[in-house]
Amino acid sequence: MRIRNLNIQSLKIPFKVNFKHSSADRNKTKSVLVCTETSNGHIGFGEGCPREYVTGESISSCFRFFNQHKNHLISCIHSISDIENWVLQHEEEIDKLPSAWCAIELSILDALSKELSQSVEKTINAPGLEGRFQYTAVLGDSSAEVIQTQTTQYNKYGFNDFKVKITGDPDIDNEKFNIINSTVPNARIRLDANNLWQNSQDVLKYIGSISTELFAIEEPLQAMDFKELSVLLKSISVPIILDESFYNKHHFDHILTDIRNVIINLRISKMGGILRSRQIAKQATQRQIPLIIGAQVGETSILTRAALTIANEYRENILAQEGAYGTLLLESDITDQPLTFGKYGRLDIARNLGIKEYGFQIKYKLKDYAQSSRRLTVN
């Protein structure tokens, strides 16, 4: 494969509803979109979701990374082995700017696979996609009225797996839990604290004051506070999900693997693309650390599709999967056939993907996105 051009643009697609948690409040996407065009005219797209409160990235830092490496990538990337070597050689840079690289890698993999007339899975020697994928219902930090409306809607879809953004105030949060449990009696609930507390005692006090059984709690402590995390893990029976505190393979060194109550939230953008995500999923499975395939609010069908590669290969080690909201949340998507969950929160590969298509098997809105990329001048 020969790359003719690489371009980047920011994505600002409006949400149909605002989404709020303790670290952010959004009404539109905050992502970058990279377009790869080959000399044979094949087009590939990749997406990255920089989050300053997770990896310290911004839209601007993604653009700088892209500008710095664009010409070199065009000249040196021709095959999957070239991509793999580039990732190894630039590991430290990608550790600092994983979302920037994620967008680039996904776009090149998509274009390369189309050149080879095959799926991305075949290009990276992963199992082909098959079957169904089960998704989680996510509830933001909203009023009781909104929580009731959304929970009722999720119940009509048949969801029973819930992720709830919390405030840290037991009175406010218990009202949410009561709504969920009364509407969906068999609900499995996990909490997302988004780094609310400074110490273990406050976490334990909160858990002791809430009125629901918990499947797990995500990021109760400050991000990367592994010292306090080790204290908490010795005192708590509820599994701890690591999100902001885990986004590359080096973070395995900080996990007490002899205590089996840690779960890793694996998000493709946060980890730096599919290749690095596969590596982390493999190591986690070997260490018997379960995974949740995560998603960032506002992802398009590109990142939803990329996550399926990992979810499919490591099904036996995955406890839950997030995302696949598509145009249920976004005013528009990069495709007219967005990847969204259906009844019971399931996404069926046979119904949702163009199986006869190559690459990520998505029929893009080329008129809207490829042409705008070609017109774009990157500053």
Q: What is the pLDDT of residue 379?
A: 24
The segment(s) of the chain belonging to CATH 3.20.20.120 are 132-352
Between residues 350 and 7, which one has the greater pLDDT?
Answer: 7
Q: Has residue 376 got a pLDDT over 60?
A: no
- Residue 52 confidence (pLDDT): 84
Q: What is the pLDDT of residues 175-191, one digit of tens each?
A: 999 999 999 999 999 99
At the topology level of CATH, where does 3-125+359-375 sit? Answer: Enolase-like; domain 1 (3.30.390)
pLDDT, mean of residues 76-105: 98
In order of 59, 131, 161, the CA distances from 9 in angstroms are 9, 33, 35
The model's pTM: 0.93
> Is the Cβ–Cβ distance between 53 and 224 less than 8 Å?
no
What is the pLDDT averaged over residues 352-360? 83
Least confident of 166-175, 254-263, 281-290, 308-317: 254-263
pLDDT at 54: 78
Q: Average of pLDDT values for 246-271?
A: 88
Residues 6+ apart with CB under 8 A from 115: 1, 38, 40, 42
For strands 188-192 and 161-165, give the pairing: parallel
Residue 377: pLDDT band with limits 50, 70, 90: very low
Q: What is the pLDDT of residue 20?
A: 57
Among the ranges given (192-206, 254-268, 329-343), the one the predictor scored with the smallest mean pLDDT: 254-268
194-219 tens-digit pLDDT: 999 999 999 999 999 999 999 999 99
pLDDT bucket at 132, cuts 50 / 70 / 90: very high
The pLDDT, as a whole number, for residue 24 is 53
The three-state (H, E, C) secondary structure of the chain, written as one string? CCEEEEEEEEECCEEEEEEEECCEEEEECCEEEEEEEECCCCEEEEEECCCCCCCCCCHHHHHHHHHHHHHHHHHHCCCHHHHHHHHHHCHHHHHHCHHHHHHHHHHHHHHHHHHCCCEHHHHCCCCCCCCEEECCEEECCCCHHHHHHHHHHHHHHCCCEEEEECCCCHHHHHHHHHHHHHHCCCCEEEEECCCCECCHHHHHHHHCCCCCCCCEEECCECCCCHHHHHHHHCCCCCCEEECCCCCCHHHHHHCCCCCCCEEEEECHHHHCCHHHHHHHHHHHHHCCCCEEECCCCCCCHHHHHHHHHHHHHCHHHEEEECCCCHHHCECCCCECCCCCCCHHHEEEHHHHCCCCCCECCCCECHHHHHHHHHHCCCC
Q: Give the whole-number percent of the chain exceeding pLDDT 90.
A: 81
Q: Answer yes or no: is pLDDT of 19 > 70.
A: no
Percent of the chain exceeding pLDDT 70 equals 93
What is 132-352's CATH superfamily?
Answer: Enolase-like C-terminal domain (3.20.20.120)
Give the model's pLDDT for residue 375.
42
| CA-to-CA dists, residue 94 to 62, 107, 372, angstroms | 11, 16, 27
Please tell me the predicted confidence (pLDDT) of residue 271.
Answer: 97
Start and end residues for every CATH 3.30.390.10 domain found in the chain: 3-125+359-375
Structure tokens, 165: 């953004």
Over residues 345-368, the mean pLDDT reads 85
Predicted pLDDT of residue 28: 81
Question: pLDDT higher for 282 or 329?
Answer: 282
Average pLDDT on 47-60 reads: 89
Write down the mean pLDDT value for the chain. 92
